[in-house]
Structure 1
């Protein structure tokens, strides 16, 4: 160390052994040792006589203390050298100074840690007045609590790393299993569709073979029909020609053998057959029935497949908090009836009043969803008519052919009651005066619709609905509803495509589209029902 750091050796010679700092106003005593003037004066004032040197324990007298001005100059020069050395770039410092962190004041190794000032100290700093009365411990001992905290935290971090690794490994296995499953689905889809294509090709070939057979038989029948007809026309033509010549003969020739005319030219029963045999005609009608059955089956299949693959069938629950006071919502929230009696004493802000309406409990801001509404009214006939009045020739693609038909209503409303006179007269009066008899509304509504006062159920007001009655179905697309069906289906399918901006209503039994709105949605959209007829029920499915 001495050879490597001459400046430090010089520093050791100019340090006060009392304050362990550079000599300030250095003085000497009887034994020749040098101290700071103020340090030795404090020793003299605090000690009893005689006075002893702190280094050699030799007695000295206060009056013999003398200033050493040459030493003061030396101390100043050494201090300046240290300052200049500290100003040098880090790369130019001594190797041992770069290898280990030293005390910035005394350039000594740091061995202690002051708990009071939270500083690292060298031996000389520890004995200095600033830290002499502080609690100082060895660096290793002071570092133990921090090292323990670091080790505990390190253990936690390693545990987190292991858990992340395990989670990542498990996730990778799960992803790989799902990818494998999807790959299997890919093969299954190809296989299923290939089977479907093969089945349809076989059915197509079967129908085409039937068609070819019928065409062949009709073609052969037409050839036979033409041949027989031509032969009969030729025979009759020959007979007619001979008789025409006979009738032109003079009377003398004509009367020579009058009895021979009928016998020689008898009138035979001429050929007359039906162009199409009853058997072929029957088979052609059966073929038409098969084709109609195929068309109907494919339409239902297309509708169900498109709905099942593209739309999510939702289990809709009614929000009784929004129901008008005259409506009674079932405990499970799946159906409602119009009671005609006010059932709510307190009107909440979200209820409809006075309109007998209710919203679903769940709204939608994305996706494609589907649900159905079953309409029950006791005085309706057993089945609706099959005649459908399409607007624009729209055909159905939604709906399920697997749902039950009209099942009637609950025992509470099962008594054989007919429509009363007021209802019949009201509908007759309404139709005569051009007013549509409103029984119920089904559809969707924006969450922000007005719920107070009489409402207009149009898209401009945030409603996209169908208006149902015994007279049929009309669309509330503007202030004056227009009719689209001459009968009212017992079950309506509602398909909502939020991003695509579509609300499609279908007859779930016939798979036909009743009407389709094409709005641009903003905000949350809710299922919407409206009912103002006694002995009636609206039920959500599934």
Structure 2
């Protein structure tokens, strides 16, 4: 930056330290410093305490203030020199001065700011009649408050910028770390699936080799069987031809002693029904074939369970379900933690609420779903009634219509002395006169379902449920439910895909598929349980 001109240095010596402007009617105080007359008089009028110089803080007296006429002449000469410099040709001025803005009226440099009119003035404008008596200050002094505000705002903006840069840097680090982590996950996925593929290929090769061995034994046995059978047929055919020829000989020859001895020896050597016969498949091969069939069944069951578990874990979020006791029927007792319920058979004095099921022994979950894929499980503790309790309940509730007379579930109150073991899955459960044993319902329901009166538990009415009983599992459809399993799993998995419109039921212990509803959901969907069996419990998991 160019050094200040001598005129600028002199200009700094003739400025009042109070108003920061050119000295007007300069006066000196006791310490010798010079101020504008009107500035020092105004200071004296505003202060009753001892007067102090604004520069050196020395005490002075008002009566000792004196005019400095020589300073007034010097100020005037410096002011005129500045005006002459401002009026000099533009090409003779420094480049930095040529770039300065000039007064549009007098073509003079702008030095002052009029507070009254909020205008920027040159020296001549300030001395004009229009602005002479206005409060005018140097531009730098007038700009200080605005510059301070700008600097404060600038400081705030710089702080925000620094925080954003720091936040961005931290976020980039987190994203980079997460990206690296997921790149590693890619390698983990490839590695895990490769191990799984390798394991399945080995098991596949093992089963194929075992199958090939059994096929080879069967082929060899078939060839041997065919060869032996053909040889025996040929031998018997030869004997048959000989006997046919002998049977056609005259009676006198047949009765002769030599020929009669030959025939008797032939019948003795080949008695009736003494011919070659053996089983086509040996006991050892048959046993190996049965063992191989069992391995295939285990493979199919394992693959179904693996597919079900993997799909559940990867696609569905396991949700913790809690029962809403406000919706529970009066015959149901919900545990304090909301995870299980039992059918008491005794009506409790509960306040009647519009959201409670009555008289159906049902209850909803406390959390509904409007999107996503969720999964939960229901454990069925099946401690069924004994025969005497069953008979007493049948008399009390009205017989074969059912405990609550539900239209599509009526007549499902058969008797049983227990529930079947899961090892008896393929056996037919005994039924008397076509009457089903009692049961429970597991599934989901629409929030808007009717909760008063006897209900039809079907998808058309907003219920997507499995009906579980000791006789098996059936689906509630109109006009009558139909059976899909002849056994009752101890633990049911319920998978709700709201967006896909599916409710899938599986055996939670084996991950085997049971049934799937396809529908279009609207509104909130809640977990739903229904139980009318004494001494039985439904428990939610997890």
Does 1:500 pair with 2:470?
A: no
- Aligned partner of 1:279 in structure 2 is 284
Corresponding residue number in structure 1 for 2:186: 186
Query: What is residue 426 of structure 2 aligned with on the other side?
Result: none
User: Per-residue deviation at 1:473?
Assistant: 3.4
The answer for the alignment partner of 1:374 in structure 2 is 379
Counterpart CA distance in 2 for 1:211 and 1:521 is 48
How far does the alpha carbon of each residue in 1:248-278 deviate from its partner, in whole angstroms, 9 at most, with x for none?
3334433041334323564245322221111
Report the equivalent of 2:393: 423
Indicate the SS of the match to 1:514. strand
Distance in 1 (alpha carbons) for counterparts of 2:464 and 2:361: 16
The whole-number CA distance in structure 2 between the counterparts of 1:286 and 1:165 is 69
**Contact kept? 1:355, 1:453, Cα under 8 Å:** yes
One of 357, 369, 372 as aligned partner of 2:362: 357
2 CA distance for matches of 1:115 and 1:358?
80
Mapped pair 1:262 → 2:243: no
Deviates more, 1:105-114 or 1:517-526: 105-114
1:304 match: 309
Cα root mean square deviation, aligned: 3.6
| Residue pair 1:239, 1:265 contacting (<8 A) in 2 also | no
SS at match of 1:441: strand
User: For each residue in 1:91-117, what CA deviation from the matched residue of structure 2 results, as whole angstroms up to 9, or x when unmatched?
Assistant: xxxx99995456677766554455666
Could you tell me the TM-score, scaled by structure 1's length?
0.66
Report deviation, 1:293: 1.0
Please state whether the residue corresponding to 2:153 is helix, strand or coil: helix
1:225/1:458 CA distance change after superposition, 3 Å:
closer
Work out whether residues 324 and 358 of structure 1, in 8 Å CA contact, stay in contact via their aligned partners in 2: yes
Once structures 1 and 2 are overlaid, which stretch shifts more, 263-272 or 515-524? 263-272
Identify if the C-alpha distance between structure 1 residues 325 and 246 changes in structure 2 by more than 3 Å, giving closer, same or farther. closer
Displacement after TM superposition at 1:300 (Å): 0.8
Q: Which runs of 5+ in 1 are unaligned?
A: 1-94, 381-415
Structure 1 SS opposite 2:377: strand
SS at match of 2:192: helix
Quote the Cα distance in structure 2 between the aligned partners of 1:504 and 1:299. Answer: 14
Secondary structure at the counterpart of residue 528 of structure 1: strand
Q: How does 1:70-81 map to 2 (within 5 A)?
A: none
The 5 Å alignment of 1:167-182 reads: 167-182=167-182
d(CA) in 2 for partners of 1:504, 1:265:
73
Tell me the distance in 1 between the aligned counterparts of 2:354 and 2:133. 75
Change (3 A) 1:497 1:163: same
Q: Following superposition of structure 1 onto structure 2, how do residues 122-161 of structure 1 map, counting pairs within 5 Å?
A: 137-161=137-161
Question: CA, structure 1 residues 327+236, in 2 after alignment: closer, same or farther (shift >3 Å)?
Answer: closer
Tell me the alpha carbon deviations over residues 109-130 of structure 1, each in whole angstroms, 9 at most, x when there is no partner: 5544556666555556667788
SS of 2:269's equivalent in the other structure is coil
TM-score by length of 2: 0.66
Give 1:26-425 correspondences, 5 Å limit. Answer: 99-101=99-101, 109-113=109-113, 120=120, 137-254=137-254, 255-257=256-258, 258-263=260-265, 266-268=268-270, 269-339=274-344, 346-347=351-352, 350-353=355-358, 355-379=360-384, 419-424=389-394
Report the Cα distance in structure 2 between the residues aligned to 1:153 and 1:229, rounded to whole angstroms.
109
Aligned to 1:462: 462
Distance 2:118 2:187 in 1: 70
1:286 Cα shift?
Answer: 0.9
State the shift of 1:232 in Å: 2.2
Flag the 1:352–1:428 CA change in 2: closer, same or farther, 3 A. Answer: closer
Q: Please state how far the C-alpha of 1:279 moved relative to its aligned partner.
A: 0.9
Matched positions, count: 413
Change (3 A) 1:281 1:169: same
More displaced stretch, 245-254 vs 211-220: 245-254
Residue 377 to residue 223, structure 1, CA distance change in 2 (3 Å): closer
Is contact 1:317–1:332 with CA below 8 Å preserved after alignment? yes
- The answer as to whether partners of 2:475 and 2:483 remain within 8 angstroms in 1 is yes
Mapped contact 1:501–1:520 kept (Cα < 8 A): yes
Deviations along 1:147-187, whole A, 9 cap, x unmatched?
A: 23322322232222222223223322322222222222222
Q: Which runs of 5+ in 2 are unaligned?
A: 1-94, 413-437
Could you report, residue by residue, the CA deviation over 1:290-348 in whole angstroms, capped at 9, with x for unpaired residues?
A: 11111111111111111112212212222344444554433332222344566675555
Aligned partner of 1:539 in structure 2 is: 539
Do 1:367 and 1:499's aligned partners in 2 also have CA atoms closer than 8 Å? yes
Is the 2:306–2:511 contact (alpha carbons within 8 Å) kept by the matching residues of 1? Answer: no
Cα distance in 2 between the residues matched to 1:365 and 1:267: 88
